[in-house]
């Protein structure tokens, strides 16, 4: 709309032809994690056609899709900001969703960076019984205030909480009797002569949104599309496509021994000289599978990397 002055000096609003019937631009506001999980999340989104271009130190990259905006923030902050509606969707670890007690909808478990949230103690204290621990006052250090508080209550412990900011495993035994921390293999905990005494939670990277986004038809459709495409890309991660030829006389023997997702794709070769067969199989099975296929009469075997599997 444009404001102009008429001959009497009064303001008049004109609606231009280009503005007639126009609708507000719909944008899905996405927040991406900075730090260690950023690379895997961005790589996955790029595989499904959503790319990002950063400029210098800006936290607001340009996106390849007009209907999506993006911003990079620490994964710890994302659940709260999505829950508050400052962003429609984002990526964060399950541990931070639980820790922040965020009211969000988990749309997809990406399976990235799987860790366990554990309670660990120095070797000399780990052998104590729970009853012994309940008799004295402990110092428990962690980045996870709420998870640790819930753990203390569930175990009936008396404890002082110490907030940490990384390198939690360095505090015992001088500065803490116990820690609550994340671990993927437990190696760092063992190297610091600590023993895991409890597992609180298993965590991995999740794609999440708020309920308000799901109530908007445009945003819900975009979220459903993103979930479907990410699932198809993740499904293809551990599978390959094998293509092979087989002579007519070996066809039944080969087909009866084929592993595949559902049923093989089969087409007849030129002049009926045999058949071409395609199967999708786990990539880990290929080293053992190819010799077996050859023994069953397969020839001209080709292996292809898959980008997406939509079921």
Backbone angles phi, psi at 212, to 5 degrees: -60, -35
**Fold assignment, 238-305:** Alpha-Beta Plaits (3.30.70)
Which pLDDT score is estimated for 23? 59
Say which residue, 263 or 238, is predicted with more confidence: 238
Topology match between the domains 24-112+205-235 and 238-305: no
Spatial contact of 223 and 214, defined as CB atoms under 8 Å apart: yes
Beta-sheet pairing, 2-5 with 11-14: antiparallel
Q: Which CATH superfamily is domain 24-112+205-235 in?
A: Periplasmic binding protein-like II (3.40.190.10)
Which pLDDT score is estimated for 58? 84
Q: Which of 192, 203, 196, 191 is nearest to 144 (CA)?
A: 203
* DSSP H helix total and E strand total for the chain: 11, 18
The two tokens of residue 170 are 């360095």
What pTM did the predictor assign? 0.84
- Cα(175)–Cα(144) distance, integer angstroms: 17
Q: Which CATH superfamily is domain 115-202 in?
A: Periplasmic binding protein-like II (3.40.190.10)
Interacting residues of 33 by C-beta distance below 8 A, sequence separation 6+: 41, 72, 73, 74, 75, 78, 90, 91, 92, 205
Q: pLDDT (tens digit, 9 = 90+) per residue, 37-60? A: 999 999 999 999 999 998 777 899
Beta bridge partners of 170: none
Per-domain residue ranges of the chain: 24-112+205-235, 115-202, 238-305
Interacting residues of 121 by C-beta distance below 8 A, sequence separation 6+: 128, 172, 177, 178, 179, 194, 195, 197
Which pLDDT score is estimated for 15? 45
- Cα(135)–Cα(226) distance, integer angstroms: 52
Q: pLDDT (tens digit, 9 = 90+) per residue, 97-126? A: 999 999 999 999 999 999 999 999 999 999
Whether residue 244 is predicted with pLDDT greater than 60 in this model: the reply is: yes
Q: Which of 19, 142, 285, 16 is nearest to 303 (CA)?
A: 285
Segments in the chain forming alpha helices (H): 38-47, 78-83, 94-99, 123-126, 130-134, 145-155, 187-191, 211-214, 217-236, 251-255, 286-295
Say which residue, 3 or 198, is predicted with more confidence: 198
């Amino acid at each position: 709309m444009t404001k102009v002055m008429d001959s009497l000096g009064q303001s008049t609003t004109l609606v231009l032809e280009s503005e007639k019937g126009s609708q507000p631009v719909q944008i899905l506001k996405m927040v991406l994690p900075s730090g260690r999980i950023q690379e895997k999340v961005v790589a996955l989104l790029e595989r499904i056609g959503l790319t990002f271009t950063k400029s210098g130190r800006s936290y607001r990259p340009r996106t390849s899709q007009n209907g999506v905006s993006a911003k990079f923030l620490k994964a710890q902050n994302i659940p709260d900001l999505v829950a508050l509606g400052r962003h429609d969707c984002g990526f964060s670890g399950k541990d931070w969703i639980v820790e922040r007690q965020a009211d969000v909808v988990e749309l997809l478990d990406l399976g990235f960076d799987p860790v366990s949230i554990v309670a660990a103690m120095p070797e000399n204290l780990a052998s104590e019984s729970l009853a012994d621990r309940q008799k004295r006052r402990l110092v428990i250090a962690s980045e996870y205030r709420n998870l640790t508080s819930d753990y203390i209550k569930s175990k009936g412990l008396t404890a002082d909480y110490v907030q940490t900011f990384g390198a939690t495993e360095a505090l015992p035994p001088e500065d803490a009797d116990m820690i609550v921390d994340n671990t993927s293999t437990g190696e760092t905990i063992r190297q610091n002569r600590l023993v895991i005494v409890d597992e609180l939670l298993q965590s991995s990277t999740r794609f999440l949104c708020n309920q308000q986004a799901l109530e908007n038809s445009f945003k819900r459709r975009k979220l459903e599309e993103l979930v479907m495409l990410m699932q198809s890309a993740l499904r293809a991660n551990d599978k390959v496509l094998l293509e092979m030829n087989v002579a007519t006389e070996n066809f039944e023997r080969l087909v009866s021994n084929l592993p595949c997702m559902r049923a093989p794709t089969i087409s007849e070769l030129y002049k009926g000289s045999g058949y071409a067969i395609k199967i999708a199989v786990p990539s880990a099975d290929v080293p053992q599978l190819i010799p077996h296929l050859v023994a069953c009469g397969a020839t001209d075997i080709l292996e292809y990397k898959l980008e997406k599997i939509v079921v």
